[in-house]
Chains A and B, each alone.
Chain A
């Protein structure tokens, strides 16, 4: 928890200053999650404000402050779903469209722990975004929450309102689909090799 339970309770009772403190504590983390879920930097703040606005109007429904974080993540995921539905926008790149350089980068990144410079970071972003865009929106959000945001199964259980076993199954299948996409691309012959053979 980034804030004390008492602060959340004060915010629940309508204390605007306490609410502002809660927002200040969580906004950066929530904006980060949103940016990784929707993939459009220009809309991140708008969606973030929508999340905190929903928080403001529904804080009274929170029974125990202990579940505040999963609850905030649930609001975040729902706001992202709403945004994606509204804009009807999927991440445009597909794994099949990724350049060979990006594919090689995926391998290089996976095998090395070296610090990434900006160009490499950009390529990693493109690679993973493309890889995740190849699976369904539900799988993409679930995988991002688990693997990138680092949420535990227990937290995901609270967010999604399903039991741990069902989540494990969904996560396993989502990972298999992503792995399949990853492997499908890494095993594809390079265009340059094709042209060499043709020549």
Chain B
């Protein structure tokens, strides 16, 4: 029974046994291989290849240089910022009084005295 089933498996979609069909397919592939020989590369194959390699290398180098320049600029900017922050946070530049003291100190010189006399004149009228 098992042998019979196994024998039936040798047939694919018809009366041709699988082995025979496979062999036919193999011969067909072999003929195809013969019918499609390896093409001879053109005379420009190698120069064009090297030109492409060099073009990609130069574009890679350009990208690398740009990346390097960006990193350098970012480093410089961060150093400048760091320096500015460090000078801004030095103890001498901070005001030690309260917020109101600071406001008063800041506005004291800019404030004009109230014109009390003129108001009093108006009151007189």
Q: Quick one: which of B36, B46, B49 contacts A35, CB cutoff 8 A? A: B36
Q: Given the interface contacts A31-B39, A48-B41, does A57 sit within 8 Å of B14 by beta carbon?
A: no
Assembled-state Cα–Cα distance A180/B33 (Å) = 21
Q: Given the interface contacts A44-B39, A110-B27, does A148 sit within 8 Å of B33 by beta carbon?
A: yes
* Chain A CB within 8 A of B56 CB: yes
Assembled-state Cα–Cα distance A45/B24 (Å) = 32
Q: Given the interface contacts A45-B45, A109-B27, A176-B12, does A28 sit within 8 Å of B35 by beta carbon?
A: no
Chain A 17-41 per-residue mask, 1 if CB under 8 angstroms from chain B, else 0: 0001001100111011001100001
The answer to whether A23 and B46 touch across the interface, beta carbons within 8 angstroms, is yes
Q: Given the interface contacts A36-B36, A175-B22, does A56 sit within 8 Å of B53 by beta carbon?
A: yes
Q: Quick one: which of A20, A32, A56, A128 contacts B28, CB cutoff 8 A? A: A128
The answer to whether B32 and A124 touch across the interface, beta carbons within 8 angstroms, is yes
B65 shortest CB reach to chain A, Å: 18
The answer to whether A121 and B35 touch across the interface, beta carbons within 8 angstroms, is yes
* Chain B CB within 8 A of A147 CB: yes
Q: Given the interface contacts A23-B46, A45-B42, does A180 sit within 8 Å of B13 by beta carbon?
A: yes
Leading 3 A-B pairs by shortest Cβ distance: A32-B38, A121-B35, A128-B32
A1 shortest CB reach to chain B, Å: 17
Q: How many interface contacts (CB-CB < 8 Å) are there between A and B? A: 108
Q: How large is the interface on B (under 10, 10 to 19, 20 to 34, 35 or more residues)?
A: 20 to 34
Kindly list chain B residues whose C-beta atoms are within 8 Å of the C-beta of A176.
Answer: 12
Kindly list chain B residues whose C-beta atoms are within 8 Å of the C-beta of A175.
Answer: 22, 25
Q: Is the interface of A mostly helix, strand, loop or mixed?
A: helix
Which residues of B are at the interface with A, using a C-beta cutoff of 8 A? 12-14, 16, 18, 21-22, 24-29, 31-42, 45-46, 48-49, 52-53, 56
Shortest Cβ distance from A146 into B: residue: B29
Assembled-state Cα–Cα distance A192/B81 (Å) = 88
The answer to whether A53 and B52 touch across the interface, beta carbons within 8 angstroms, is yes
Kindly list chain A residues whose C-beta atoms are within 8 Å of the C-beta of B32.
Answer: 36, 124-125, 127-128, 148
